[in-house]
């Protein structure tokens, strides 16, 4: 305090000699020697205090202080602040006073002479001087200075400041920020103040007009006035020691790292002066960017951190606006991005963090102007984040510290690709693919980021890509650009791979954090695309290239890459490929030659190996291409050095002298044609071109120690300009151009030079590439989704299964839903299938092998509901994530079934597993039946009934039987107990299955579109095939059985469930039966063709299913033939199988025939129907239903359906029924005499057989109508209808069942002897066939002993009736007058033979007496009609009569000697007559 005591007095008086009063009164004032001695420091201090006294007196009588000029009020304070005599506390007090004046609004926009005051204020605070005291007090002064600057610049009066004042203030604060010797608190406070100032300054951009400000900036050079706009960033190394007590704190005396003078801005304190604007902002931005230069050793990382923070604040405030000012934009796109990208590989974590944050902010705000810069950064970021490569330890040190990638397909691994800088400073490893000419740019292997660095880079990537349109923008701008990378594909590939665990430990939190970030990016991508699909997309701007053209470019890009790869391997092969794919020579015209077209492609394609390109175009055979290639350059008004630079940077100059000569000669010709100044001939251009190449090598080759001087260069070019010399200025310009800027040929340099060259190429390309297109459009979503859907969904599925965090699970579920929605929206069933497959695997409802035999699970009653507690229900009830997956899966599929294809396999697999564990809704467990309606699918097949043991052994026998039973014999019937926990878990499972709404999904299947429906049925068929046909083949091959044994699969309820589901779906979608039928029939025919090897229940269900589908087919005229294919298949079932399933077969067939009678329209179809019916009649119930159907068809009535086509079939099947009746009777007969014989009253088969005979006979009633309607020839009708009917009656006349047999022979007699509807009596052929094929076989059968034993008691009567029928038929058919002339001798002899056998088969039988009597009647009739005439004396008989009599007499003498003579005696001789 003592040091400041001289300032402590509240009243200071100036001496009279120093007063102005004497002078004002006219007195002469002299100066004493003492006063002169004391006029030093004290006077100066008194003057400082006197200033306040003067101000005090000036404002004493003024009521409104605001009318005083502001500089008058502030002058004393400024004097204190500027004075080096002031101590820290005094200066601090003055600064506090200024701060108070700002607060009290004494310094306001309305203040008088405000501009002059602010100019002085800026100068004052920027050049503050005071005596250093303690460090803390001094820092308080600095804090007050920054407060006043902030009041001034950020307050109401800030807009009045000029560019010079703003730069001074900013420099003051920035210098304070960078002083390492100052305390951390002060520097942080200064940094915060700087941020506030920068935000204020950059906010001015929102009110400035870019064109106007840029125009003003261009005119500043013409109006330079006093004062300079300059801004410096100063810093002191920490090693510098400063003694606060020995020097003054002067901001202008601090070491300066950078001081650049920019054009002065006219500043006048008393006239209208422009407000600060673009010049000061440019200067600030330039200084901040230059501080970032990592190659500038003047700045430390601490300074760069400060600059990064300030730069970030500037872009946060006015980022989008900055790019609208070309002068600011130029700084950002070039130096700004270049330095920031280099800092993004810093080993200093803080620098890396701030650099990445600033990069993110710049991209967020000026992305549209940084297309290629963003490509570089993203590619480099992905390279650094990629999983570490397995490299040899000695090679790790050679990894580039940073950089993007080497030249496309370059065989030289150290050369960066033009336009994509590689700032590696050490050797770089090439991608082996590049040696083979791969079209994909070779990767420069960079050290993979690890630990915190990796997290920082990932966070930055996440921040950059948070925009909804980010991925779509990547695709449109890069993937659809031939000269850019497929960044979208690379990024998605990287993100999906990171989600999967790598070599890191599972518990590694950093790795897990990386997985979360990448998953979040993937889910964000899916969410944004889903939002666009739901209507949130923007309209693609008309000023952008058409989406169709971009997509077309994308499709061509792959071809171009392949063509470039082939060119880089073998140029001729590459050109042939390009021509084949119409990538070149498509623009040919009168003005465009092949050479020009090829040259255009070679110059524009950045994917070509520049060395091979140079070698190719310089070959003799390609001279036209070389001329066209160089002709594409515009050399107009370009210096020769710049023209050579442009040319040589487009390809690698070959090493062969002749090739170089061709290039230079061509260049000389084309350049000279552009009319360059001072060059007189092509030869002069040729020499200059060579000289430039040599000069470039001489000046920049590190192996050359003695450099060429300008004098040497000038000397070498004397007299080459058409005999003259070039002017020194001309050659000096060439020399200086090459000396200052080396011509960097492709693939020539690495390190900083290579980076600078590549960066320059990037800037050149960026001018051609245009702006980065930003639009949240859905134009490219389909193409994008097609490319990446599989890895994206796989990553989401992995996250859902592997991660336990609830948030991740929720996001994954949302991702699944959105992917499914997109799949349906884009009509990509493969995607939907993949979603379903992924989710189904997560449900745990899929089983590798479903059980064939279902165990006995306990069934518990819970609230009146039966619940099966199975191992699946218990396990699934504890799997919360599996339940989530199931609910999500089925909610997704519900309503989206039309988008599903292959995924139906997993759906039905889960259905099957749930069915086997009794967890499906009841509706899905039902199977339809023709007999019992709807029933439940049994989980266990019925066991064959075991014979009951004899019970007469008593208690001892029962105990013995129990003790002899194996311990495990009844284990299959044991039901385990269910614990309370098991029941609870099962209830959880049931609730989950209920939430899945499986019954709704099952109902929706019936409403599917055709493609999805076919896919569903195919999936069912494939699963069913696997459990039946495939399993049969596998197990039969593996089993060891006796050759005669047939391997049979046990009952599998799952196969029945799949079959029933498939058929139920098919039957409920009759509109699509034409497409579904082949699938269903394939499986059914496979089962039925090997029916003996499957369980009876499965075959029965297959039969029912086939007939159910046939009932649908009957409604489709074009599928009618398939019904008969099915009938044929069913009729061919082995008899045991046919008998067991006959009831179902006949029930289905009857239903089809009765409902769709019109489908049977031909004899073949009827034959197939009858064959099917006949195959079932061995089953008693099937026989009953079948016979009822036949009755309805063959009897008179509304259902009568006798036609020509089915007449024979009806006869045959009725004959079968009669035959079965005989078999039943015969079987009963064999059981013994004590068994009661079967009759129609006690045996349905006998009753049906007897009625069948009546129906057969009644069929003849339909013959007249049928013959009339069919117009069949008589002989054909006889053969097809009449004769089979009579033959059937004949066969059944020997039936073992007596009632059937007697009825048959009676009906046969009625048919033969009644009205002859069935045959033509006049046709002797019909008569002969009746005897030979009807009557004779009947009598012959009755004479057989094996036929007789069928019914020994009743068969004699049948023989008697047969013999009578034989005689009556002969008399009725052959002995009528119309038949008298027919030759029936052979027939008559056969009749006699049969009568002989009948008479003598049993002489005790009635036949022995009845046959002669019948024969007598026949003989008498034959004699009466003149057929059988005995000989007479005159013997006027015909030859036929004589022969017949002789044969008859001869044959009858064998069994009835003299009988013929007795019946027909010879006529009396004439002599006998006379005698009488």
pLDDT tens-digit series, residues 258-307: 333 323 333 333 345 678 888 999 999 999 999 999 988 888 889 999 99
Which contacts qualify for 1225-1233: CB closer than 8 Å, 24 or more apart?
A: 1225/1295, 1225/1296, 1225/1297, 1225/1298, 1225/1300, 1225/1350, 1225/1351, 1226/1296, 1226/1350, 1229/1296, 1229/1350, 1229/1351
Reference 257, options 233, 239, 280; nearest CA is 233
Most confident of the ranges 236-240, 856-860, 1016-1020: 1016-1020
Contact partners, residue 684, CB within 8 Å, separation at least 6: 720, 721, 722
Residues 1222/1249, Cβ–Cβ less than 8 Å: yes
Given this model, what pLDDT does residue 943 score?
Answer: 43
| DSSP-derived 3-state class of residue 81 | helix
> How high does pLDDT run on average in the chain?
80
Nearest 5°: the CA angle 372, 493, 405 is 40
Q: Cβ(1285)–Cβ(1202) under 8 Å?
A: no
Q: 657-673 and 623-631 are packed helices; what angle lies between their axes, rounded to 10 degrees?
A: 40
Check residue 409 and give its pLDDT. 35
Predicted confidence band at 501 (pLDDT cuts at 50, 70, 90)? confident
Q: Average of pLDDT values for 907-916?
A: 91
pLDDT > 80? residue 933: no
Q: Which of 1055, 1084, 1103 is nearest to 915 (CA)?
A: 1055
Confidence label for 404 from pLDDT (cuts 50, 70 and 90): very low
633-665 per-position pLDDT tens digit: 998 888 999 999 888 888 888 888 898 999 999
Close Cβ partners of 1439 (under 8 Å, ≥ 6 residues apart): none
| pLDDT surpasses 80 at 530 | yes
1154 to each of 241, 929, 1159, 1187, how far by Cα in Å? 116, 17, 10, 14
Q: Are strands 933-936 and 865-868 parallel, antiparallel or unpaired?
A: unpaired
- CA dihedral (1330, 1334, 1336, 1342) in degrees, to 10, reads -160
Question: Which of 679-683, 1043-1047, 1195-1199 is modeled with the greatest confidence?
Answer: 679-683
Beta bridge mates, 69: 112
Instruction: Give the DSSP H or E segment for 783.
Output: helix 781-802
Encoding tokens for residue 1420? 């008498």
First and final C-alpha spacing in the chain: 204
List pLDDT tens digits, range 972-990: 556 777 888 989 999 999 9
State residue 394's pLDDT score: 30
Residue 886 Cα distances to 633, 798, 846, 904, 1250, angstroms: 65, 16, 11, 14, 64
The kind and range of the H/E element at 796 are: helix 781-802
Token pair, residue 1370, equals 């002969």
Residue 494: CB atoms within 10 Å: 18
Rg (CA), the chain: 58
Euclidean distance between CA atoms 1322 and 735, whole angstroms: 135
Among 491-495, 937-941, 1360-1364, the least confident range? 937-941
Average pLDDT over residues 596-624: 89
- Matching residue, tokens 């790598």: 502
Distances (CA, A) of 1382 to 1226, 1376, 1378, 1390, 1435: 42, 10, 8, 16, 21
Sign of CA dihedral 71, 74, 77, 81: negative
**For residue 927, what are the β-bridge partners?**
935
Place of tokens 């509807």: 1317
Tell me the C-alpha distance between 631 and 639, whole Å. 16
SS3 track for 549-563: HHHHHHHHHHHHHHH
In the chain, what percentage of residues exceed pLDDT 90? 24
Interstrand relation of 865-868 and 926-929 (parallel, antiparallel or unpaired): unpaired
CA neighbor of 169 nearest in space, from 86, 258, 283, 271? 283
Other CB atoms within 10 Å distance of the CB of residue 534: 12
Supply the pLDDT for residue 306.
92
pLDDT score for 265 = 33
For residues 700-721, give the mean pLDDT: 87
How many other CB atoms are there within 10 angstroms of residue 636's CB atom? 11
Asked if the model's pLDDT at residue 39 lies above 60, the reply is no
pLDDT digits (tens, 9 = 90+) for 1130-1140: 999 999 999 89
- Phi/psi of residue 404, nearest 5 degrees: -95, -70
736-759: buried (b, 16+ CB within 10 Å) or exposed (e) per residue? Answer: ebbbebbbbbbbbbbeeebbbbbb
For residue range 1316-1355, list pLDDT tens digits in order. Answer: 656 666 667 888 888 888 998 989 998 888 888 888 888 8
Write out the E strands in 547-705.
none
């Amino acid at each position: 305090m003592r040091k400041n005591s001289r300032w402590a007095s509240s009243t200071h008086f100036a001496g009279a000699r120093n007063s102005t009063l004497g002078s004002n009164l006219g007195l002469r004032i002299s100066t004493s020697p003492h006063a002169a001695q004391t006029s030093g420091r004290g006077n100066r201090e008194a003057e400082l205090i006197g200033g306040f006294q003067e101000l005090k007196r000036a404002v004493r009588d003024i009521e409104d202080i605001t009318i005083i000029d502001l500089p008058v009020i502030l002058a004393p304070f400024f004097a204190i602040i500027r004075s080096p005599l002031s101590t820290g506390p005094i200066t601090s007090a003055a600064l506090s006073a200024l701060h108070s004046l700002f607060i009290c609004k004494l310094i306001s926009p309305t203040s008088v002479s405000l501009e002059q005051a602010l100019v002085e204020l800026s100068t004052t605070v920027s050049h503050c001087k005071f005596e250093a005291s303690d460090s803390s007090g001094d820092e308080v002064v600095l804090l007050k200075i920054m407060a006043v600057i902030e009041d001034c610049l950020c307050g109401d009066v800030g807009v009045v400041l000029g560019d010079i004042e703003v730069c001074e203030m900013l420099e003051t604060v920035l210098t304070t920020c960078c002083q390492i010797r100052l305390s951390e608190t002060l520097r942080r406070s200064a940094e915060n103040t700087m941020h506030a100032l920068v935000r204020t300054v950059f906010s001015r951009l929102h009110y400035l007009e870019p064109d106007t400000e840029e125009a003003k900036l261009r005119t500043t050079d013409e109006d330079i006035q006093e004062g300079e706009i300059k801004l410096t960033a100063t810093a002191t190394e920490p090693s510098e020691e400063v003694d606060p007590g020995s020097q003054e704190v002067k901001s202008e005396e601090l070491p300066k790292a950078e001081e650049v003078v920019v054009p002065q801005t006219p500043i006048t304190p008393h006239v209208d002066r422009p407000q600060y604007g673009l010049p000061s902002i440019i200067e600030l931005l330039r200084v901040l960017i230059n501080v970032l230069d990592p190659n500038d050793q003047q700045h430390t990382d601490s300074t760069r951190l400060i600059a990064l923070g300030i730069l970030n604040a500037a872009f946060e405030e006015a980022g989008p606006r900055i790019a609208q000012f070309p002068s600011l934009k130029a700084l950002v796109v070039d130096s700004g991005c270049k330095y920031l990208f280099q800092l993004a590989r810093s080993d200093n974590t803080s620098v890396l963090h701030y650099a990445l944050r600033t990069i993110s902010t710049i991209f967020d705000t000026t992305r549209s102007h940084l297309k290629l810069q963003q490509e570089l950064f993203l590619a480099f970021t992905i390279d650094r984040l990629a999983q570490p490569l397995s490299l040899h330890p000695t090679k790790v040190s050679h990894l580039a510290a940073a950089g993007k990638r080497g030249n496309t397909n370059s065989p030289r691994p150290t050369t960066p690709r033009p336009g994509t800088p590689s700032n590696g400073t050490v050797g770089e490893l090439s991608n082996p693919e590049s040696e083979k000419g791969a079209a994909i740019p070779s990767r420069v292997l960079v050290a993979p980021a690890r630990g915190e660095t990796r997290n920082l880079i990932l966070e930055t990537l996440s921040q950059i890509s948070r925009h909804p349109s980010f991925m779509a923008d990547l695709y449109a701008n890069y993937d659809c650009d031939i000269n850019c990378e497929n960044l979208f594909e690379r990024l998605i590939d990287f993100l999906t791979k990171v989600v999967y665990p790598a070599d890191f430990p599972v518990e590694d939190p950093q790795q897990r954090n990386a997985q979360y970030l990448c998953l979040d990016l993937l889910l964000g991508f899916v969410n944004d695309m889903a939002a666009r699909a739901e209507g949130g997309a923007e309209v693609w701007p008309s000023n952008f290239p058409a989406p169709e053209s971009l997509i077309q470019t994308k499709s061509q890009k792959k071809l171009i890459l392949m063509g470039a790869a082939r060119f880089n391997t073998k140029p001729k092969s590459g050109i042939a490929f390009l021509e084949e794919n119409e990538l070149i020579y498509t623009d040919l015209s009168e003005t465009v030659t092949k050479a020009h077209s090829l040259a255009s492609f070679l110059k524009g394609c950045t994917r070509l190996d520049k060395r091979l390109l140079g070698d190719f175009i310089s070959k003799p055979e390609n001279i036209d291409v070389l001329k066209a290639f160089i002709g594409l350059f515009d050399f107009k008004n370009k210096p020769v050095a710049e023209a050579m630079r442009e040319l040589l940077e487009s390809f690698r100059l070959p090493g062969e002298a002749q090739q170089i000569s061709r290039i230079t000669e061509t260049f000389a010709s084309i350049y000279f044609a552009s009319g360059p100044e001072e060059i007189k001939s092509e030869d002069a251009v040729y020499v200059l071109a060579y000289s430039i190449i040599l000069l470039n090598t001489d000046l920049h080759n590190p192996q050359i120690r003695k450099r060429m001087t300008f004098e040497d260069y000038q000397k070498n070019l004397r007299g080459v300009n058409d005999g003259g010399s070039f002017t020194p200025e001309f050659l000096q310009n060439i020399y200086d151009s090459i000396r200052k800027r080396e011509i960097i040929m492709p693939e020539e340099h690495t390190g900083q030079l290579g980076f600078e060259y590549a960066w320059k190429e990037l800037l050149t390309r960026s001018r051609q590439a245009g702006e980065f297109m930003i639009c949240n459009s859905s134009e490219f979503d389909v193409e994008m989704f097609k490319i990446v859907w599989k890895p994206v969904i796989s990553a989401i599925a992995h996250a859902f299964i592997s991660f336990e965090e609830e948030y991740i699970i929720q996001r994954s579920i949302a991702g699944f839903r959105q992917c499914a929605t997109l799949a349906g929206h884009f009509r990509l069933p493969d995607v939907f299938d993949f979603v379903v497959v992924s989710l189904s695997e997560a449900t745990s409802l899929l089983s590798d092998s479903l059980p064939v035999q279902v165990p006995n699970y306990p069934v518990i009653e819970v609230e009146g509901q039966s619940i099966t507690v199975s191992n699946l229900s218990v396990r699934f009830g504890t799997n919360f994530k599996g339940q989530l997956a199931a609910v999500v899966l089925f909610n997704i599929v519900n309503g989206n079934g039309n988008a599903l294809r292959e995924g139906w396999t997993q759906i039905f697999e889960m259905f099957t597993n749930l069915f086997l564990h009794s967890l499906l809704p009841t509706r899905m467990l039902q199977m339809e039946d023709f007999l019992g309606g709807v029933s439940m699918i049994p989980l266990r097949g019925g066991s064959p009934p075991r014979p009951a043991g004899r019970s007469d052994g008593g208690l001892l026998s029962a105990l013995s039987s129990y003790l002899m039973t194996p311990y495990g014999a009844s284990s299959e019937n044991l039901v385990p107990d269910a614990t309370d926990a098991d029941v609870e878990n099962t209830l959880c499972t049931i609730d989950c299955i209920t939430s899945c709404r499986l019954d709704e999904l099952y109902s929706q299947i019936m409403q599917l579109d055709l493609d999805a429906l076919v896919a569903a049925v195919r999936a069912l068929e494939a699963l069913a095939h696997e459990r039946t046909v495939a399993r049969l083949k596998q197990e039969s091959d593996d089993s060891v059985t006796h050759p005669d044994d047939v391997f049979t699969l046990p009952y599998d309820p799952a196969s029945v469930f799949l079959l029933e589901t498939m058929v139920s779906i098919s039957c409920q979608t009759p509109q699509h039966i034409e497409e579904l039928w082949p699938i269903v029939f394939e499986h059914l025919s496979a089962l039925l063709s090997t029916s003996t090897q499957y369980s009876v229940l499965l075959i029965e269900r297959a039969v029912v299913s086939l007939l159910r589908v046939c009932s649908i087919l009957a409604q489709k005229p074009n599928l009618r033939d398939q019904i008969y294919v099915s009938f044929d298949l069913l009729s061919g079932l082995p008899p045991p199988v046919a008998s067991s399933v006959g009831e179902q077969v006949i029930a289905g067939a009857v239903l089809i025939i009765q409902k769709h009678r019109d489908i049977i329209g031909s004899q073949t179809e009827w034959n197939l129907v009858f064959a099917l019916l006949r195959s079932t009649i061995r089953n008693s119930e099937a026989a009953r239903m079948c016979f009822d159907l036949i009755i309805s068809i063959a009897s008179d009535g509304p259902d009568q359906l006798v036609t020509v086509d089915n007449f024979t079939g009806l006869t045959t099947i009725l004959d079968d029924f009669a035959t079965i009746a005989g078999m039943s009777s015969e079987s009963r007969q064999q059981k013994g005499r004590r068994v009661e014989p079967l009759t129609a009253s006690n045996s349905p088969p006998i009753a049906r057989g007897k009625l069948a005979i009546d129906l057969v006979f009644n069929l003849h009633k339909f013959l007249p109508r049928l013959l009339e309607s069919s117009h069949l020839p008589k002989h054909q009708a006889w053969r097809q209808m009449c004769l089979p009917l009579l033959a059937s009656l004949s066969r059944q006349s020997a039936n073992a069942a007596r009632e059937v047999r007697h009825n048959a022979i009676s009906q046969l007699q009625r048919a033969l002897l009644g009205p002859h509807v069935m045959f033509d009596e006049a046709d002797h052929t019909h008569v002969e066939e009746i005897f030979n094929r009807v009557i004779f076989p009947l009598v012959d059968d009755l004479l057989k002993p094996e036929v007789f034993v069928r019914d020994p008691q009743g068969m004699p009567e049948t023989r008697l009736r047969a013999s009578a029928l034989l005689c009556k038929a002969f008399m009725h058919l052959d002995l009528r007058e119309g038949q008298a002339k027919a030759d029936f001798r052979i027939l008559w002899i056969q009749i006699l033979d049969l009568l002989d056998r009948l008479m003598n088969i049993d002489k005790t039988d009635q036949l022995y007496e009845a046959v002669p009597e019948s024969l007598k009647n026949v003989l008498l009739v034959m004699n009466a009609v003149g057929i059988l005439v005995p000989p007479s004396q005159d013997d006027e008989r015909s030859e036929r009569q004589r022969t017949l009599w002789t044969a008859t007499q001869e044959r009858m003498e064998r069994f009835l000697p003299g009988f013929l003579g007795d019946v027909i005696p010879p006529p009396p001789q004439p002599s006998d007559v006379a005698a009488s």
